[in-house]
């Protein structure tokens, strides 16, 4: 059967439009498709929550792909191994060192993305968050203001669009972009010791890994922080290419949000 280029184009435009309109107003909008964001999306979607994930880059997976120093292996500690099992990710115990598990970075990135999508979450790549939508007297975060990443990169003066969400999750990594919008544009204090995004501290893997799940939570009404965004907000230590804390952070945020929405 000969192929018709216009049919191909029509199928893509219609398919994407239907997918986007179906998630124009989600229960949870996650910004950043890194490890914490993808795990959070998977657990929420498995519980029947309508989840939209917005990723500014072309690819998903955040900092997983490069492993450590472009050696595409990452480490996951004992506490988070069960999340790997639940996400159907293979791992190998590191010989001679109890509690350290080696994971292929490529498999981890692909597996987390597949689990999120297969669970029902929708991932929209090449979207940058330029602002938040707020509502009510307390100016609660109730959605996101989005622009195409290439538009932002080109510096074009094109108005953004808005999506709604009952809860927004900042999984933007080191920059904590959504939390900074609340801090800078709204001029609001965050639920952190300084009331601001403190910025991450120097390397201390053990302390940093324990801190990531501890700091995961609602940093402003309607806005949760996860992963390295939580590290940046609370000013805890970075931890390098060990990813157990990221996985546990995504799991914890999903559990907290499910408690809020009754899932």
- For residue range 145-155, what is the model confidence (pLDDT) as tens digits? 999 999 999 99
Which stretches in the chain have pLDDT values below 50? none
Do 124 and 54 meet the contact criterion of CB atoms below 8 Å apart? yes
210 located within any domain: yes
The pLDDT of residue 121: 98
Cα distance between residue 63 and residue 37, in whole Å: 12
Two tokens, residue 42 = 């998977």
Burial class (CB in 10 A: 0-12, 13-18, 19+), 199: middle
178 located within any domain: yes
The pLDDT of residue 28: 98
Cβ-Cβ contacts under 8 Å for 3 (sequence gap 6 or more): none
Question: Number of folded domains in the chain?
Answer: 1
Cβ-Cβ contacts under 8 Å for 12 (sequence gap 6 or more): none
Each residue's pLDDT tens digit, 45-88: 999 999 999 999 999 999 999 999 999 999 999 999 999 999 99
250 located within any domain: yes
Cβ-Cβ contacts under 8 Å for 5 (sequence gap 6 or more): none
* DSSP 8-state assignment for residue 254: H
The pLDDT of residue 96: 83
Cα distance between residue 64 and residue 248, in whole Å: 15
Provide the CA 43 distance to its chain's centre, in angstroms.
Answer: 12
Strands 127-135 and 140-148: antiparallel
Two tokens, residue 206 = 């053990």
pTM over 0.75: yes
46 located within any domain: yes
166 located within any domain: yes
Range of the domain at 244: 26-63+106-261
Angle at 198 between CA 192 and CA 202, to 5 degrees: 125
148 located within any domain: yes
211 located within any domain: yes
Spell out where 1-72 has E strands. 25-31, 51-55
Do 255 and 249 meet the contact criterion of CB atoms below 8 Å apart? no
The pLDDT of residue 262: 80
15 located within any domain: no
- The CATH number that applies at residue 37 is 3.50.50.60
């Amino acid at each position: 059967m000969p192929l018709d280029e216009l049919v191909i184009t029509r199928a893509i435009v219609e398919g994407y439009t239907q997918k986007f309109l179906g998630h124009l107003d989600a229960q949870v909008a996650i910004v950043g498709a890194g490890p914490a964001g993808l795990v959070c999306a998977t657990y929420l979607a498995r519980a029947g929550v309508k989840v939209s994930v917005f990723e500014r880059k072309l690819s998903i997976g955040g900092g997983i792909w490069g492993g450590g120093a472009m050696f595409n292996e990452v480490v996951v500690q004992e506490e988070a191994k069960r999340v790997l099992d639940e996400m159907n990710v293979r791992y190998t115990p590191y010989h001679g060192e109890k509690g350290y598990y080696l994971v292929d970075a490529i498999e981890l990135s692909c597996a987390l993305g597949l689990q999120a999508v297969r669970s029902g979450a929708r991932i929209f790549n090449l979207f940058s968050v330029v602002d938040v939508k707020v509502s009510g007297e307390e100016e609660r975060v109730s959605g996101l203001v989005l622009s195409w990443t290439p538009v932002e990169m080109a510096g074009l003066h094109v108005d953004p669009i808005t999506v709604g969400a009952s809860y927004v999750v900042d999984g933007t990594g080191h920059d904590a972009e959504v939390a900074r919008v609340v801090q800078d544009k709204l001029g609001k204090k965050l639920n952190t010791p300084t009331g601001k995004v403190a910025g991450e501290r120097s390397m201390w893997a053990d302390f940093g890994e324990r801190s990531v799940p501890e700091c995961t939570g609602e940093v402003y009404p309607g806005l949760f922080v996860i992963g390295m965004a939580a590290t940046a907000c609370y000013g805890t230590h970075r931890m390098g290419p060990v990813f157990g804390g990221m996985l546990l952070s995504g799991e914890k945020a999903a559990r907290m949000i499910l408690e809020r929405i009754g899932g």
